[in-house]
Amino acid sequence: MNTWPFKNIKLLNAKLKRAKNLLAISRQYVSKELLLQIYYGQFYSHLTYGCQLWGQNENALEQTISLQNKAIRLISFAHYQAYCSPLFKNLNLLKLTDIVKCSNILFTHNTINNKSPTTFGDYFVFNETLHQHQTVNSLTSIYSIPPGSLILPNYRTNSGKSSIKYICSNIWNSTLKDLSKTYIEKYTLDPFWMNKTNITTFKHILKKHFL
């Protein structure tokens, strides 16, 4: 068993605890805007670095998620047991699990558009299956395979389904269906709209979606 991610998470959590303590001390003396700057510089920067490598197993992230929740409560001056989802939304910040999902989707977007290292050149393949009865309404079906989706690698083992390739393809497909319901006109005009969207615009779309 590869223990590297768990060792990395343990080191990460130690850094996040120090950053959380800094927020706890600083919040009595600085504005919320400056607290957010401290969060981005001392907490978020560690949280996002390499998260695609160590952040795919949610079961290993319990303490990390807890530390992020505590940091958000500190910035918001909320009760130490306050429900955190509204706090994240009010601060326009993503939860760790959504940060990892965004990283996976953006990596997929870059790879599809040939902006990743050449070793990932044929990493993702579009599903070319087009049903004759394909309609926009099929986006609501769990069985639909809309154009613009990716072929899921045919892995049968848990280790295969925990690979970056499988996870990225899966989250891309589910996000395509979710976003296409919102951006229905774009999907109707071009089912491949998601990978053709400018990366900066796409980041804004993803953040709004996960918030």
Residue 190 Cα distances to 78, 136, 138, 147, angstroms:
44, 12, 15, 9
- Whether the pLDDT of residue 5 is over 90: the answer is no
Give the distance between the most distant pair of CA atoms in the chain: 64
Neighbour tally for 130: CB within 10 Å = 10
User: Model confidence over 43-60: pLDDT tens digits?
Assistant: 999 999 999 999 998 889
Mean pLDDT, the chain, integer: 89
Higher pLDDT, 181 or 144: 181
Neighbour tally for 89: CB within 10 Å = 11
- Whether the pLDDT of residue 189 is over 90: the answer is no
User: Model confidence over 95-152: pLDDT tens digits?
Assistant: 999 999 999 999 999 999 999 999 898 899 998 754 444 444 455 554 466 778 999 9
Q: Which amino acid is at 57?
A: N
CA distance 107 to 150: 14
CA distance 46 to 43: 6
Of the chain, the percentage scoring pLDDT greater than 70 comes to 90
Neighbour tally for 70: CB within 10 Å = 17
Residue 120 Cα distances to 36, 143, 198, 202, 203, angstroms:
35, 28, 20, 21, 21
- Which pLDDT band, with edges at 50, 70 and 90, does 168 fall under? very high
